[in-house]
Amino acid sequence: MEQFFEFVSNHMLLVITFVILLIAFIVSESNRGGQKISINEATLLLNRDKAILVDLRSAQEYKAGHIAGALSIPYDALKTRMKELEKYKERPIILVCKIGQHSGAAGAVLKKAGFGTIKSIKGGMGEWQAANLPTVKSKK
């Protein structure tokens, strides 16, 4: 531990540069796939702005319980099924996955394809269920 502090004190400019670049990278990556929003903000967008909710989880997870009205487009199939979203290009799109790990990358894919407002739910379905918000099960 002493060597760490010695390194930091001897190379202060290098350490400060690293920290600034790390922060810039984290901010850039988090904004790349759209803004992260709370479940309250998501509910407001769904009700007020008629946003489209895309569930990126697997078909089995979707069938076990999903947010009412969500479209099931698994993350692995997003690029091949993007045409299903074309009619919603001008509406806000909210992405939800299991815990938020895929929604950023999926948002980047949609932004690159020309979709406008892309947002993702912080914490994904885990957060939704932790708040005891309603889910529905598929009959298929």
* 97 carries an active-site annotation: yes
Token pair of 80 as six digits: 């091949």
Rounded-to-integer distance, Cα 19 and Cα 16, Å = 5
Catalytic choice (97, 106, 110, 125): 97
Confidence (pLDDT) at 139:
72
Query: What mean pLDDT is predicted for residues 73-88?
Result: 93
Q: Which residues pair with 118 in a beta bridge?
A: 93
Provide the pLDDT confidence category of residue 26 given band limits of 50, 70 and 90. Answer: confident
Share of the chain above pLDDT 90, in %: 61
CATH superfamily of 34-130: Rhodanese-like domain (3.40.250.10)
State mean pLDDT over 21-47.
82
- The confidence band for 29, taking pLDDT boundaries of 50, 70 and 90, is low
Domain ranges of the chain: 1-32, 34-130
Contact status, residue 99 vs residue 56, Cβ threshold 8 Å: no
Average pLDDT over residues 107-124: 90
129 φ/ψ angles, rounded to the nearest 5 degrees: -70, -35
